[in-house]
Amino acid sequence: MEKKIDTLPLTSTHWGTYRARVTNGRVQELYGFEYDNDPSPIGSGIIDVQDGPTRISKPSIRRSWLENGPNSHNHLRGVDPFIEVTWSEAEKLVANELKRVSNIFGNSAIFAGSYGWSSAGRFHHTQSQLHRFLNCIGGYTKSKFTYSFAAAETVVPHILGSYRAFLDTCTSWESIRENTELFVSFGGIPLKNGQISQGGTGNHFQKKKLLEAFKSRTNFINISPLKSDLIGEVNGEWIAPRPNTDTAFMLGLAYTLYELDLVDYDFISKYTVGFDNFLSYLLGKKDGIPKTAQWASYICEIETEIIKTLAKKMSSKRTMISISWSLTRQDHGEQPFWMAIALSCMLGQIGLPGGGFGFGYSATNFIGGNFVIPPAAAFPQGINQVKDFIPVARISDLLLKPGTNFEFDGQNYTYPDTKIVYWAGGNPFHHHQDLGLLMKAWKKPDTVICNEWCWNSLAKRSDIVLPCTTPLEREDLGLTPRDPYIIKMSKLTEPYQDSRDDFDIFSGIAKEMGVLDNFTDGKTKEQWQKWIYNETREKSLEQNINMPSYDDFIKKGWFKFPNHREDVVMLEDFRADPINSKLNTPSGKIEIYSETIHSFGYVDCPGHPVWLEPCEWLGQKDKKYQLHLISNQPKDKLHSQLDHGNFSRSNKINGREPVYINKIDADKRNLKDKDLVKVYNDRGSCYASIVIDNNLRSGVILISTGAWYDPIDPSIPDSPCKNGNPNTLTPDKGTSSLGQGPIAHTCMVEIRLAEGEIPSVTAYEPPSFI
């Protein structure tokens, strides 16, 4: 008789928790955790690639680097064959190179931003392992903030006093279900994004909660170029403005509220500062342009009456405004978040059950959860002695412009001269913009080192590749402050060939450098995991939450923190008592106008929310390219993880990434379903397969991110990507001098039928070896 599923061993991933059936030392099947309402199918993608040609079996060194030393033939990264070496040889090579650079150039010459989601597991969190190791040898240049919402991370603390604190305490779905009459979502509620949650998740609740709210009394409005950003089951209204015009749309709503005397001035007076300054701009007293609904209509290409009607609805009903994280990833991405907060202030519903605003419902699974936030301990990283950093999306600038200055959040900084890039747990050839420019920048450092488990686009473009394990091959704790479940992650299978977990990789290098005791602190992997659990348990007791003993937890395999007894309502305490619960802003209130930001003197981010024309968009006069490219998060993988897995590859068209296009735009170009096409602009190009889809606004095309970068000629920086990576097309420019975030969603392109024979995709093949 087959073993009961709920007795099978558990593992946790960013896209969910699974029970695993293991036969003959190999994972045969993953079953959704029995307490998961809506298990993600993404997890199954790892089974077919756990072994096989994409796995990295041994430490591997790029031939020219090994034969000629650092800074040799760097233009051959991605072209050169590799030579496999022993771990002992690899450890010495890495240790000697780190010593050389540290001694001659200083530790600021080591860049280890290592941005990426890596894999779930609190102890084997790759960036924590890397950063702790490098801090043991003097530190490194880091990156600051996240590609997901860098602009918001910079601007919202000036408005509310924090961003992360309110991201983690968005009004719960329970409160929305019971109180919200109108849910206005700028950027939609993309359930595909809610499949994942950083650090893991035990129960996917976004779809269930969304449907419960709909069945209650909540009406939904999806303001997005993509109808699919809200599921059809909730019968929501779809309003499709031009991409990048959300701020103008909201200014038109705000003007209508003022014009119809629907502004809650009592709320404005009691809880905000700077409204009069903003109002002067809204009414056109600063620039001679009143931001009327008609003005917004012209910019957004939405009928004036739609904007006016929506403003009246929002003022007459309990309204929740949701701002998608994607809205920050556009030129001037600070403005939509600031404007949404200002609009919410004018409605006066902030802090009321089911009202106000929220940061991206279903951007990940945890948004709107009603659970107690676990006080999750982490693997200590130590102290970084290096003060240099870059805003997360400025990698190419770092490598191409050493010694030059950059502005960021009111201060002036200098890019250090980078000699080593050490990457672990991410893939810059997935998430960074303008890959042609990045390819040029990638030639600059002396040495690129990575810890990787598969031959993806990063591993192929590194000098030293250290093979690491996957979560299926190691024990860990699925523990995060953004999910109520703690999961005992079982070791389901032995490590692939000579792969090692990151703790063992860094322990080996640390021993070569004489810092082993500092790195391990005398603890084994098992002792560290027990320490993390017990530290979390002690912090929980301080909050009167009882966790089981470590041994009892291991025996059961999981634990769930309790739900809140009352619904979570963002800024409820502030509304109830703005004096004793004041915000961490200079005024203690919501800053519709920020004197601090105004003092920076940034033309591209003044002291209150404004409409600033994007560097390229559909409303541009005499535009060279006619289609706006949206490159959103994929539905079949997490970023680029498991793009080579069976689930992701089953969604490709003729082996290529799909490009979605409205029939009107397809007919203009004589394109039909499954046609192989070239998408291009001045920055680069990629090939993809056509899918006709009228659920896109005309003038907009969609290529989701995540396809492994696969240029036809890897020696040429702007060679077309055979596999449909949209970041060959997106611009590498900061959102503004304030936030310096990425602007992937500000991108104009053209599309045409592919000409001649296009080489087949080789992204999932290993490199050549000597």
So which residues are the catalytic ones?
Answer: 115, 117
Q: Is the dihedral of CA 509, 511, 514, 516 positive or negative?
A: positive
The C-alpha atoms of residue 533 and residue 116 are separated, in whole angstroms, by 24
| Whole-number Cα distances in Å, 214 to 173, 182, 218, 567 | 11, 10, 5, 18
Look at strands 685-692 and 658-661 and give their pairing: parallel
Measured at the CA of 221, the angle between CA 220 and CA 223, to 5 degrees, comes to 150
Query: Mind spelling out the 3-state secondary structure of 129-173?
Result: HHHHHHHHCCCCEEEECCCCCHHHHHHHHHHHCCCHHHHCCCCCH
Is the CB of residue 196 less than 8 Å from the CB of residue 641? no
DSSP-based helix, strand, coil % in the chain, nearest 5: 35, 20, 50
Residue 28 makes CB contacts below 8 A (sequence gap 6+) with 21, 22, 47
What is the separation of C-alpha 425 from the centre of its chain, rounded to a whole number of angstroms? 13
SS3 471: helix
**Selection from 620, 500, 479 nearest residue 12 by Cα:** 479
Phi, psi angles (nearest 5°) of residue 530: -65, -40
Give the containing element (helix H, strand E) for 424.
Answer: strand 420-424
Q: In 3D, which of 179, 209, 174 has the Cα closest to residue 191?
A: 209
Beta strands 700-702 and 627-630, pairing class: parallel
SS3 695: coil
Q: Report how far residue 630's alpha carbon sits from residue 307's, in angstroms, rounded to the nearest whole number.
A: 23
Residue 754 exposure: Cα atoms within 13 Å on the Cβ side: 21
Alpha-helix residue ranges (DSSP H) falling in 304-348: 304-316, 334-347
The first and second tokens of residue 511, run together, are 């021993």
Per the structure block, which two tokens stand in for 14? 């960013």
The H-assigned helical ranges of 418-524 are: 428-431, 435-441, 457-460, 502-512, 516-520
Q: Determine the Cα–Cα distance for residues 163 and 408; give it in Å rounded to an integer.
A: 17
| Residue 462, both tokens | 């590194």
In the DSSP assignment, the letter for residue 578 is T
Distance separating alpha carbons of residues 663 and 37, to the nearest angstrom: 36
